[in-house]
Amino acid sequence: MDGALSTLKRECAEQGLDYEEVLHQRAMEIRLMKELGLELPDWAGTVGAAEVGRVAEPPTAQ
């Protein structure tokens, strides 16, 4: 996936999983790890971990 040769949606479908459920689970795990002061795993990524729980602002018209 890091090489953009596949997507999380496709990988999850091959395993019979729902990618949205997987993403929500990952977000919960990252939040709990941060709450407990645990070091985040490599898959969490520094940018991804910083964005967990952040509400995206809608784009503004120009």
Within-domain flag for 39: yes
Within-domain flag for 37: yes
Within-domain flag for 58: no
Within-domain flag for 50: no
Mean pLDDT of 34-38: 93
Mean pLDDT of the chain: 81
C-alpha neighbours within 13 Å on the C-beta side of residue 18: 4
Let me know: does 30 contact 39? Beta carbons within 8 Å. no
Assess whether pLDDT exceeds 90 at residue 25: yes
In total, how many domains does the chain have? 1
Percent of the chain residues past pLDDT 70, beyond the cut? 71
Question: What is the domain range of residue 25?
Answer: 8-43
Q: How confident is the model at residue 17 (pLDDT cuts 50, 70, 90)?
A: very high
pLDDT of res. 2:
60
Within-domain flag for 48: no
pTM flag (> 0.95):
no
Within-domain flag for 36: yes
